[in-house]
Structure 1
Amino acid sequence: MNEVLARIQELEEALDDPSDTWGRLREAWKRAEDEADPKMAEIVRQARRMHPVLRDLEKRIRRVLRRHRELTPLDRVQEMDRASMVWLSRQPGRNIPERAGASQRILATVRREDFDTLENRVLHAYARLATDAAREWIREHPRAKSSTRYAQVDGFRKSCRTLARFLSDLGVRVASAGITPNYVLMQDRSYREMHNSWLRLLLRRKIEDDLWAWQAETWTDFAVLAIILAIDELDEAELVAQSPISWNAEAVGGRWFEQDRPIAVFWLRETNRIVEVQSRPQKPGALLVAARAHVALRISTPNRAEMPRRVAVWTPHAMRRIPLEESASEAARLLQLIQPLAQMEVLRHGLIITPARGCAQAANAAEGKAQVTAIALGPFGADLAEGFEAVRGFVQGEIYEAAE
């Protein structure tokens, strides 16, 4: 599921270029087919973005002057407070030199540089947390030592470790989670960016907890992206409409992005077909409701009186690998049973996309006019390459069969 999440989070970077969102995402998924190319993660993004920020803070680490009471030589006394004066009045002697004694020192107020401020405590906490997160990421990708991401994260880990030792030598303590940011953390640009990065790293565990609770929703979004990429690869496919995709700072109900319906509409120039990718449609229709599918393909031909075709897409997620043949047969029987409900559209074919669990595979089943293909797809390595090839073959078969 961490790899599934990585594939989905790569959409965030792809959205930086709205003119080629799906092309950039396809390139990222292509790299994920090679296990030596490590996954995108929050620590990878911070390794790119935070290096110059930390260097800036290290050069101008904030300090304050704090008042302390110390025994000070008489010729260096500049300030005394009430407690110092009370101390002096209790010393034996008729004048100040006599009260200063043989050492000629009296209790006075002095100012010393102090680095133990709230913003530096947060910086210390961030440096330690980033070091741990980078070390954990490196351990997860032992085969990626030759990759650029690995070098960036490893260099960032070393920089954060050095910074943490430097702050410890300065006597800066470590901030605890849940502190209220002060003026510097909110207004100073570098400190503010560091504080926000610290909060994002603190959310890692919450993200993992949400991932366990909502992994079925996350898997559905992963399957939707796989289908879109399979259609976008067609030479004649032209993206004519795409709903605005809003990326969430954190998952809401297991979903990292929100979009209108349909998420993407493609026009096949030569075949003259319109293909819509519908994810969780607001008005699914009687057939899709009866099929209990949250995703669908809608294939239609402009300027023709024929009814549009829909392809139901199921995205079951289970802790164990589900039997593909049995699932495809059950889905085919269901589609055959709901055929009497067909009035305004045709729904005879279906697709099941389920986690590969280490073994990408595909199976087909038919029942009357209904046909269903079940595909076990993985989020990285060979499981991603082989499973995505099966998704690509199914999508092309459905589109061009509709064109016959």
Structure 2
Amino acid sequence: MNEVLARVQELGEALEDPLHVWPRLRDAWQRAEDEADPRMAEIVRQAQEILPRLKALEPRIRRVLRRTRELTSLDRVQEMDRASMRWLVRQPGRTIAERAGTSQRIMATVRRENFDTPENRVLHSYSKLAFQVAREWMNEHPRAKSSRRYAQVEHFGRFCKAFAQMLADLDVSSAEAGIVPNYVLMQEPSYNAVYEAWRRLLEEDKVLDDLWAWQAETWTDFSVLAVVLALSELEEAELVAQSPIVWRSEATLGRWFEQDRPIAVFWLKNTGRIVEVQSRPEAPGRLLALTRAHVSLRISDIRTGGMPRRVAVWTPHSLTRIDLTDAVQRANERLVEIQPLSQTEVLLNGLILTPSHGEFESSVATGARTRVDGIALEASGDGLRKGLDAIRAFARGEIYAKTT
């Protein structure tokens, strides 16, 4: 599920260039097919964005001058407060020199540099946490040592470790997770960037908890993106419409992005067909509602003008491997059952996309007029490559069906 989350979050990066969302996402997913090219993660982004901030802060860490009372040589006394004067009058002697004694020192107020400020405590806590997260990320990707991302995270981790040690040597303590940010943390750009990065790393556990609770929703989003990418790679397919996609900084009920319906519309120029990818449609239609599928393809032939065809796309997610052969057979039986209700549209075929849990698999069940394909795929490595190939083959077979 970490890999599934990474594939979905790569959409957030692709949205930085709205005109080339799907080509950018396709490039990211192609890199994910190679296990030596590790997944994007929060620590990777921070290695790219926060490291320059830390290097800029290193020579100019904020410090304050704090007043303390200590024994000071007479010739260096500059300031005394009431407590220092009370100390002085309690000493034996008639003059200040006599009261200073043989050491010629008296209690006086002095100003010392102190680095233990709220903003530096956050800096210290962040450096220690970033080093730990970087080390964990590298342990998860031992095959990626030659990749650029691995080198960035490794360098970032080493720098954070050294930075944390430097702050410890300056007697800077660590900040608590619930600290209220002061003016510096809110307004100084570099400190603010570090504070926000620290919060994001602290929230990683919350993200994992949400992912565990809502992993089926995340898998559905992953499946939708996989289908859109498969259609975008058809030779004659042209993206003619795309709904606005709003990326969320935090997942809401397992959803990382929000879009209108349909998410993408493709025009097959030579074939004369329009293909819409619909995810969680508000008005799914009677047949699709009966299939209980959250995703569908709507194929319209603008030349013949006949009833549009729908393809139901099921995205079941389970913690253990499902029996794909049984699943496609049951889905096909469901399609057969609802055929008498077909009036305004045609729904004869379906597709099941489910996690493979380590071993790619495909299966098919057919009836007199119906057909359901099943694909068990992964979100990275060879399982992702084979899964995307199978989705592309299904898309070609379905869209060009009955084409003369």
How does the TM-score come out when normalised to structure 1? 0.98
Q: Which residue of 1 aligns with 2:143?
A: 143
Cα separation, 2, equivalents of 1:10 and 1:54: 25
List aligned pairs for 1:43-192, cutoff 5 A: 43-192=43-192
Letter in 2 for 1:21: V
Q: Which shows bigger deviation, 206-215 or 365-374?
A: 365-374
Cα separation, 1, equivalents of 2:155 and 2:201: 18
Q: Which residue of 2 aligns with 1:298?
A: 298
Q: Which residue of 2 aligns with 1:29?
A: 29
The alpha carbon displacement at 1:59 in A equals 1.4
List aligned pairs for 1:231-270, cutoff 5 A: 231-270=231-270
For residue 258 of structure 2, give the secondary structure of its aligned residue in structure 1.
strand
Structure 1 contact 267–274 (Cα < 8 Å) conserved: yes
Letter in 1 for 2:68: H
Q: Which residue of 1 aligns with 2:194?
A: 194
Structure 2 contact 272–303 (Cα < 8 Å) conserved: no
Letter in 2 for 1:315: T
Cα separation, 2, equivalents of 1:12 and 1:403: 37
The alpha carbon displacement at 1:304 in A equals 3.8
The alpha carbon displacement at 1:302 in A equals 2.4
Q: Which residue of 1 aligns with 2:400?
A: 400
Q: 1:154-197 CA deviation, whole Å, 9 max, x = no partner? A: 01111111101110111111111010000000000000001000
Q: 1:87-139 CA deviation, whole Å, 9 max, x = no partner? A: 11211222222222222211111000000101001001111011001000100
Q: Which residue of 2 aligns with 1:7?
A: 7
Q: Which residue of 2 aligns with 1:318?
A: 318
The alpha carbon displacement at 1:270 in A equals 0.8
The alpha carbon displacement at 1:402 in A equals 5.2
Letter in 1 for 2:357: R
Structure 2 contact 353–375 (Cα < 8 Å) conserved: yes
Cα separation, 1, equivalents of 2:93 and 2:244: 83
Letter in 1 for 2:127: A
Q: Which residue of 1 aligns with 2:273?
A: 273
Structure 1 contact 119–184 (Cα < 8 Å) conserved: yes
Letter in 2 for 1:347: L
For residue 401 of structure 2, give the secondary structure of its aligned residue in structure 1.
helix
Structure 1 contact 238–266 (Cα < 8 Å) conserved: yes
Cα separation, 1, equivalents of 2:86 and 2:271: 96
For residue 23 of structure 2, give the secondary structure of its aligned residue in structure 1.
helix
Please tell me the root mean square deviation across aligned C-alpha atoms, in Å. Answer: 1.0
Q: Which shows bigger deviation, 238-247 or 301-310?
A: 301-310
Q: Which residue of 1 aligns with 2:374?
A: 374
Q: Which residue of 1 aligns with 2:387?
A: 387
Cα separation, 1, equivalents of 2:287 and 2:82: 85
Letter in 1 for 2:40: M
Distance 1:402 1:153, change over 3 A: farther
List aligned pairs for 1:294-373, cutoff 5 A: 294-302=294-302, 304-373=304-373
Structure 1 contact 299–402 (Cα < 8 Å) conserved: no
The alpha carbon displacement at 1:362 in A equals 0.9
Cα separation, 2, equivalents of 1:265 and 1:207: 31
Unmatched 5+ stretches in structure 2: none
Structure 1 contact 273–403 (Cα < 8 Å) conserved: no
Figure out how many residues of one structure are paired with residues of the other and give that number. Answer: 404
For residue 195 of structure 1, give the secondary structure of its aligned residue in structure 2.
helix
The alpha carbon displacement at 1:305 in A equals 3.1
The alpha carbon displacement at 1:31 in A equals 1.1
For residue 299 of structure 2, give the secondary structure of its aligned residue in structure 1.
strand
The alpha carbon displacement at 1:367 in A equals 2.7
User: Following TM superposition, where does structure 1 have runs of at least 4 consecutive aligned residues deviating by more than 6 angstroms?
Assistant: none
The alpha carbon displacement at 1:303 in A equals 5.4
Letter in 2 for 1:397: G
For residue 66 of structure 2, give the secondary structure of its aligned residue in structure 1.
strand
Q: 1:192-223 CA deviation, whole Å, 9 max, x = no partner? A: 00100011111111111111111000000000
Letter in 2 for 1:371: R
The answer as to 2:225 corresponding to 1:221 is: no
The alpha carbon displacement at 1:339 in A equals 1.3
Distance 1:160 1:351, change over 3 A: same
Cα separation, 1, equivalents of 2:213 and 2:17: 31
Cα separation, 1, equivalents of 2:374 and 2:102: 94
The alpha carbon displacement at 1:403 in A equals 3.7
Distance 1:320 1:64, change over 3 A: same
The alpha carbon displacement at 1:383 in A equals 0.6
Cα separation, 1, equivalents of 2:218 and 2:233: 23
For residue 338 of structure 1, give the secondary structure of its aligned residue in structure 2.
helix
Distance 1:402 1:179, change over 3 A: farther
Structure 1 contact 68–112 (Cα < 8 Å) conserved: yes
For residue 312 of structure 1, give the secondary structure of its aligned residue in structure 2.
strand
How does the TM-score come out when normalised to structure 2? 0.98
Unmatched 5+ stretches in structure 1: none
